């Protein structure tokens, strides 16, 4: 068995791994590179393997850094099945359609080449085969896959892959515990190899119980100042968590003010998928909301059309605007940021991971001035972050999860900036005494060899 790492190596985005057995080639995810200066170029770069010769794709969850290049894979010749859970299939369809539309608009504006067409997205979705959690399925000749709940976003899965007498576990993204909406990640009893994410491998999250208190303070501050609170939010999970917390805040405070806007048609559609799959939500949530109204949607104004979005400007203060994209590298949040960041009465609340090079990261790092749509905008608004909204396990949670797995020969750390992966690797060696690798882009490992032979295949645009 051979593993080759072609994405999310010493960085968070671009997840893409090739697993080769003696007769089969399995692709584990195929995501966008995001945020960095040359990420667009890297998304266009040819694959380091022939997609037409691959036998199956496994997708752990719908986030674009795990799914964004799937249509390119299909366009470049992949013709077999893509395995995921049912919510992952539906959410992937929504995020890929949205991403394709944005790329098409940008390509028209700038005369750029288009990465893939709308029909490539449709062909990709047609290739999905959905499988439930905890069911062992032969996805290719003598290669078996079992999905376990990863607790990261709706439908997210840990993949347990069995082939040639070896058991390999891929976490995709591992959820933060406790999660507001999902049950915690399932444990794996034993395996030979783990490929584990490490986004927050060197950090400890804030206590989640403080989250609603922090949110309440920020909302109250906005009301007192008669200002505007902007929350750039990821369409999947984060938005639904915010809606749930805002509903909770409003219920206990019996509040009439401020006005809440969800200015993200994608988040609106995603919220409908959450309501369609209540069985994938946590037992606790289903128990508390027997009516299945998890998100208090009657309090929120949805602004689906562009005209409705523009009308938010004339709505009286105080107001709270949740809009995409989550890292502020596109989407409607930019229009609001351009309009409102210069006033000290306003606030910006960061609730998720911000990749290097994105506007969200620059604001989080307190840049005094930013450029939005070619215009210099002084940042006088207060910029705050609530870390415990993270959908990723932190360092102690990852260590705890790995420590429950027996017989592990090696852990491969992916999906983390290098400093985070290095801290986590030291902790794993020290606390659990397991060998760790942090693969480089293009690095391959022969897992059946006793010498753990390494080979390098450098990617052109790596
Ligand atoms: Zn994710
Ligand atoms: Zn991810």
Same domain, 130 and 249: no
Residue 436's pLDDT band (cuts 50, 70, 90): very high
> Is 462 part of a structural domain of the chain?
no
- For residue 382, what are the β-bridge partners? 347
Residue 245's pLDDT band (cuts 50, 70, 90): confident
Same domain, 322 and 215: yes
Residues with CB under 5 A from ligand 1 (ion): 63, 173
Task: Give residue 293's pLDDT.
Answer: 72
Q: Which residues contact 100 (CB under 8 A, 6 or more apart)?
A: 71, 116, 117, 118, 120, 121
Full domain range(s) for residue 127: 2-204+391-456
Count up the domains in the chain and report the number.
2
Q: Is 407 left (phi over 0), alpha (psi -120 to 50) or beta?
A: left
Same domain, 338 and 446: no
CA of 173 to the centre of ligand 2 (A): 6
Same domain, 173 and 256: no
Same domain, 117 and 143: yes
Same domain, 315 and 413: no
In tens, the pLDDT along 167-212 reads 999 999 999 988 889 999 999 999 999 999 999 999 998 887 788 8
Own/partner contacts of 426-433, CB < 8 Å, gap of 24 or more, are 427/201, 427/395, 427/399, 428/399, 428/402, 431/399, 431/403, 432/399, 432/402, 432/403
Q: Tokens 């893939």 correspond to what residue?
A: 116
Examine the fold and report which residue of 389, 418, 436 is the final residue of a domain before the chain moves on: 389
Examine the fold and report which residue of 389, 411, 446 is the final residue of a domain before the chain moves on: 389
Same domain, 285 and 408: no
Q: Which numbered ligand comes closest to the C-alpha of 65?
A: 2
CA of 1 to the centre of ligand 1 (A): 26
Task: Give residue 457's pLDDT.
Answer: 52
**Percent of the chain whose pLDDT exceeds 70:** 97
Q: Which numbered ligand comes closest to the C-alpha of 8?
A: 2
Q: Which numbered ligand comes closest to the C-alpha of 151?
A: 1
Are 66 and 29 in contact by the 8 Å Cβ rule? The answer is yes
> Is 150 part of a structural domain of the chain?
yes
Task: Give residue 462's pLDDT.
Answer: 39
In tens, the pLDDT along 264-302 reads 999 999 999 998 999 999 998 888 877 767 777 777 899
> Is 401 part of a structural domain of the chain?
yes
Cis before 178? omega within 30:
yes
> Is 461 part of a structural domain of the chain?
no
Examine the fold and report which residue of 365, 389, 413 is the final residue of a domain before the chain moves on: 389
CA of 28 to the centre of ligand 2 (A): 13
Task: Give residue 289's pLDDT.
Answer: 77
Q: Which numbered ligand comes closest to the C-alpha of 33?
A: 2
CA of 72 to the centre of ligand 2 (A): 18
In tens, the pLDDT along 99-116 reads 999 899 889 988 889 999
Q: How confident is the model over 366-391, as a mean pLDDT? A: 93
Q: Which numbered ligand comes closest to the C-alpha of 237?
A: 1
Q: How confident is the model over 436-446, as a mean pLDDT? A: 97
CA of 41 to the centre of ligand 1 (A): 22
Give the residue from 176, 69, 49, 170 showing the smallest Cα distance to 414: 170
Q: How confident is the model over 232-258, as a mean pLDDT? A: 85
In tens, the pLDDT along 320-375 reads 999 999 999 888 999 999 999 999 999 999 998 898 889 999 999 999 999 999 99
Same domain, 277 and 367: yes
Nearest-angstrom CA–CA distance, 236 and 250:
22
Task: Give residue 454's pLDDT.
Answer: 57
CATH number of the domain within which 369 lies? 3.40.50.10890
Task: Give residue 265's pLDDT.
Answer: 92
> Is 333 part of a structural domain of the chain?
yes
Which ipTM did the prediction report? 0.99
Within 13 A of 346's CA, how many CA atoms are on the CB side? 21
Residue 459: pLDDT over 70: no
Same domain, 138 and 196: yes
Same domain, 258 and 354: yes
CA of 147 to the centre of ligand 1 (A): 16
Q: Are strands 166-170 and 410-414 parallel, antiparallel or unpaired?
A: unpaired
From residue 353, alpha-carbon distances to 97, 146, 313, 360 in Å are 23, 28, 27, 9
Same domain, 308 and 370: yes
Mean of the per-residue pLDDT values of the chain: 92
Q: Helix, strand, or coil here: 33?
A: coil
Q: Are strands 81-84 and 128-130 parallel, antiparallel or unpaired?
A: parallel
CATH number of the domain within which 130 lies? 3.60.15.10
Task: Give residue 456's pLDDT.
Answer: 53
Give the residue from 100, 105, 85, 90 showing the smallest Cα distance to 155: 85
Task: Give residue 461's pLDDT.
Answer: 42
Task: Give residue 291's pLDDT.
Answer: 72
Same domain, 319 and 427: no
Task: Give residue 460's pLDDT.
Answer: 44
Q: Which numbered ligand comes closest to the C-alpha of 16?
A: 2
């Amino acid at each position: 068995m051979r593993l080759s790492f072609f994405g999310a190596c010493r960085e968070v985005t671009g997840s893409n791994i090739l697993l080769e057995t003696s007769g089969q080639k399995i692709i584990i995810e195929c995501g966008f590179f995001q945020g960095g200066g040359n990420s667009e170029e890297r998304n266009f770069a040819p694959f380091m393997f022939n997609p037409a010769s691959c036998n199956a794709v496994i997708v752990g969850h719908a986030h674009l850094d795990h799914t964004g290049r799937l249509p390119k894979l299909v366009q470049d010749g992949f013709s077999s099945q893509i395995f995921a859970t049912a919510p992952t299939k539906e959410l992937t369809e929504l995020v890929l359609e949205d991403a394709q539309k944005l790329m098409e608009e940008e390509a028209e504006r700038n005369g750029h080449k288009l990465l893939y067409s709308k029909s490539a997205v449709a062909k990709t979705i047609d290739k999905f085969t959905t499988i439930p959690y905890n069911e062992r399925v032969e996805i290719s000749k003598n290669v078996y896959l079992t999905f376990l709940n990863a607790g990261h976003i709706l439908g997210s899965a840990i993949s347990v892959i069995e082939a040639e007498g070896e058991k390999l576990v891929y976490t995709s993204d591992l959820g933060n515990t406790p999660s507001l909406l999902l049950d915690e990640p399932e444990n794996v009893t034993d395996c030979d190899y783990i490929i584990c994410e490490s986004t927050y491998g060197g950090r400890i999250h804030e206590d989640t119980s403080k989250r609603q208190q922090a949110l309440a303070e920020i909302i109250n501050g906005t009301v007192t100042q008669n200002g505007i609170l902007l929350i750039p939010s990821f369409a999947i999970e984060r938005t639904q968590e915010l809606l749930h917390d805002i509903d909770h805040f409003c219920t206990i405070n019996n509040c009439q003010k401020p006005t809440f806007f969800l200015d993200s048609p994608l988040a609106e559609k995603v919220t409908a998928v959450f309501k369609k799959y209540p069985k994938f939500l946590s037992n606790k949530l289903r128990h508390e909301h027997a009516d299945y109204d998890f998100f208090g949607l009657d309090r929120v104004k949805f602004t689906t059309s562009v005209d409705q979005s523009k009308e938010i400007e004339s709505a009286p203060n105080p107001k709270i605007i949740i809009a995409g994209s989550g890292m502020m590298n596109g989407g409607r949040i930019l229009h609001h940021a351009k309009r409102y960041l210069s006033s000290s009465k306003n606030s910006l609340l960061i609730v998720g991971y911000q990749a290097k090079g994105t506007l969200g990261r620059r604001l989080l790092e307190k840049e005094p001035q930013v450029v939005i749509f070619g215009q210099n905008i002084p940042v006088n608004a207060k910029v705050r972050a609530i870390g415990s909204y993270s959908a990723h396990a932190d360092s102690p949670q990852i260590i705890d999860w790995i420590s429950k797995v027996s017989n592990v020969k090696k852990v491969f750390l992916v999906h983390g900036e290098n400093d985070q992966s290095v801290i986590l690797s030291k902790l794993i060696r020290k606390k659990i005494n397991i060998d760790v690798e942090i693969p480089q882009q293009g690095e391959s490992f022969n897992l059946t060899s006793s010498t753990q032979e390494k080979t390098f295949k450098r990617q052109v645009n790596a």
